[in-house]
A and B are shown apart, each in its own frame.
Chain A
Amino acid sequence: MSRSILLAGFASAVIAGPAFGQSMDHSMHNMPGMTMPAKPAAKAAPKPTRKATAKPASKRKAPARQAASRRAQAQAPATDPHAGHDMGGMQGMDMGGQQSAPAANPHAGHDMSAMSGMDAPAGTPQDPHAGHDMSAMPGMAMAGDQGGAKVGTDLPPGNKPAPAPSDDHLADRFWGAKAMATSREDDLRREHGGMTYYQVLFNLAEYQARKGSDGYRWDGEAWVGGDIDRLWLKSEGEGGFGKSLDSAEVQALYSHALDPYWNLQAGVRYDIKPNPSRTYATVGIEGLAPYWFEVEGALFLSNKGEVLGRAEGYYDQRITNYFTLQPRVEANFSAQDVPETGTGSGLTDLEAGLRLRYEGRREFAPYIGVSWERQFGDTARYSRARGGDTGGFSFVAGVRTWF
């Protein structure tokens, strides 16, 4: 029943005299309540075991012993049942005092009573780093490291150059080059990062209740592609019930990932409304800003030479893991007056909204909120001249949805 213990003891006994005491001690730590050598003991590992228990460490040859004790140190952290324990509770302890205490023995502080009669402390070299892996400290001269050969994983790596990659594929020899080529493409590349994805997302799709006539509004996007290059479609617009659309636009953009967070987007925008409609060349940037702000900015150059701009941003504030509050701002700018479309120069209009949504399912999150819209400057004057309104508060209810 305790053969494994014996083996553990045996393993260390073979390597080392001084190590023996430590290893045994730790084996015991590991097996509280075990009675030591039971019946299968002698049978399991008879000779070495007897030797190890009978012969004191000092009978061993010196070099072997030296190397062995180094091994024992190396193993110390592994067998230390307290390794890796947090000492946070020791705040305020006088560590200085410990400094003056004999710091050599990595097992100081552990109950050594089980080892009475052993001369383990004497056999342990005065290495302040006993039990610590110094392999991560290349170039650092360690007092305790001198003399004695390191083995195995304790050895530092050389600097031989790596072999150049070969173009052949060994599996071709067994299964045929053609089958493997197909498999490399279909099973390997495509299935490990080479997939195509898509998403359709409506951040806003809502009913707007306001003074006068109620209306609706949408703001959505769809994309398809890989990780870096994607085709985007964007659309936004609004209108009043019982009236025609106030505004509606679609954009088709090529999107390229610039860095972990930002995409450069360029393409065309077409305004279905207002009339007369315009087509724009557009370039913009879209991404995630520090502090988790989703932002978007774009410039538009119309087929008539007019320049417009837009900035948009929102932030998802989780109230709980199911309720999210989204403050959102969108502002439009114009470089010039465009009387045809009722657009004045400067800041043309601003929308600020606050929407609270419930994400029972992330893909279908109903929300309620308020939205404040306002036209400015000449844009507002154009609207007033036409008898249109220039903004105001709305209560909104809608669904943020994606698939």
Chain B
Amino acid sequence: MKILVCISHVPDTTSKINFTDGDTKFDTNGVQFVINPNDEFGLTRAMWFKEKQGASVDVVNVGGAETEPTLRKALAIGADNAIRVNAEATDGFYVAKQLAKVAQDGGYDLVIAGRESIDYNGGMVPGMVAGLIGANFVNTCIGLEIEGDTATAIREIDGGKETSTTKLPLVVGGQKGLVEESDLRIPNMRGIMMARKKPLNVVEPVEASGETKAVQFEKPAPKGDVKLVSPDNVQELIDLLHNEAKAI
């Protein structure tokens, strides 16, 4: 089985978010970049398929040279090969078109991408890749087993979960649950050394249009101070929520 894991290069979850150039660009100054957490759950599940079922695992990212350390980290975790599509990831549809090309050229059986990146939260890349290559698709996937060409997937739905069966080729929108937080791997020294020797192929993008564009950013308005209520007077909280906040 050939697996492709799509890796988005995103600011660490603790990053302070700021913008530059008249609030038109994300300010990367002092920001630590990591593998998108939703992708990392998928990558770790892919490692399981590699170790238990002999799958091969490639990772791919659409981005400039600055994203290579993130791909190297994925290699250090255990992926076999990395591919970087040398283009700016301007819009989810554009990224999906690039990934679809890589997925098609490589003849992958399973493509895993995070259900969304934690920076733009577009939540469209895995579904669009599936639509573009005509593969089956399961989003918000929290459990995945594969036997031969049949997959059993569990999807998180509002208020519960749903189990389905489908055939490969399959695209999965991954998230926590594919593996547990405690299953995530920190690359060891041997992994890091080996990752330096593994192939990282840079390919040029296919001609494609972006369909959306983030033209302006803004930060939420600063919040007023919290109104404190005495623990001996919870009735006051109810009155405030009812009369002032109109929330109950």
**Are A and B part of the same complex?**
no
- Interface residues, chain A, with chain B CB atoms under 8 Å away: none
